[in-house]
């Protein structure tokens, strides 16, 4: 018969093993911004700082991965170019953090991706995401998120490319 302390140790060891196994099987997204100094747009003051915009986009892609990827899948995304919707007009006094959106200032994101499932390549490629009709996206327009159009573009791409079947 096992003693109480031995049973506790076995229970703790079992819980640790289950935690480690579930963590290793969880879906994961890695995002890297490749040569951002060469991007089509150089100002990202829309979120306070350029790195702020990168961080917001990274967090958004990671949350999409948690939502749409299956356990055991790992998605690597390299952002090759980024041009936010709208444009800043720095000559307007007091409008440094404002982006003016018109029908010709749509968002554009070029990226390369590689999806691995349980360590094996599943799919990869390069895509250029753009939405010339972005101003007609009423859900995005109703949002106060400064990167609402870019996030809507990425969400649409992610759902089409990686959403779980039958979900």
Do the domain assignments include residue 1? no
Do the domain assignments include residue 64? yes
Do the domain assignments include residue 11? no
Determine the pLDDT at residue 21.
44
Do the domain assignments include residue 16? no
Structural domain boundaries, residue 142: 27-162
Determine the pLDDT at residue 163.
82
Q: What percent of the chain has pLDDT over 70?
A: 56
Determine the pLDDT at residue 4.
59
Do the domain assignments include residue 7? no
pLDDT band at 108 (very low <50, low <70, confident <90, very high): confident
Q: What is the CA radius of gyration of the chain?
A: 21
Do the domain assignments include residue 32? yes
Do the domain assignments include residue 48? yes
Helix (H, G, I), strand (E, B) or coil at 155: helix
The span from the CA of 44 to the CA of 151, in Å, is 15
Do the domain assignments include residue 18? no
What secondary structure, in 3-state letters, does 78-102 show?
A: EEEEEECCCEECCCCCCCCCCEECC
The residue among 21 and 152 whose pLDDT is bigger is: 152
Tell me how many domains the chain contains.
1
């Amino acid at each position: 018969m096992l003693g109480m302390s031995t049973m506790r140790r076995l229970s703790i060891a079992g819980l640790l093993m289950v935690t480690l196994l579930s963590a290793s099987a969880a879906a994961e997204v890695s995002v890297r911004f490749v040569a951002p100094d060469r991007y089509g747009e150089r100002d990202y003051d829309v979120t306070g700082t350029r790195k702020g915009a990168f961080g917001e986009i990274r967090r958004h892609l990671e949350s999409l991965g948690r939502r749409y990827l299956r356990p055991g899948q790992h998605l690597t995304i390299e952002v090759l170019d980024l041009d936010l919707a709208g444009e800043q007009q720095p000559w307007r006094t007091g409008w440094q953090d404002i982006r003016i959106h018109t029908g010709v200032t749509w968002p554009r994101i070029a990226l390369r991706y590689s999806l691995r499932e349980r360590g094996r390549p599943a799919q990869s490629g390069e895509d250029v995401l753009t939405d010339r009709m972005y101003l007609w996206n009423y859900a995005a327009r109703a949002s106060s998120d400064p990167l609402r159009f870019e996030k809507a573009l990425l969400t649409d791409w992610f759902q089409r490319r990686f959403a779980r079947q039958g979900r």
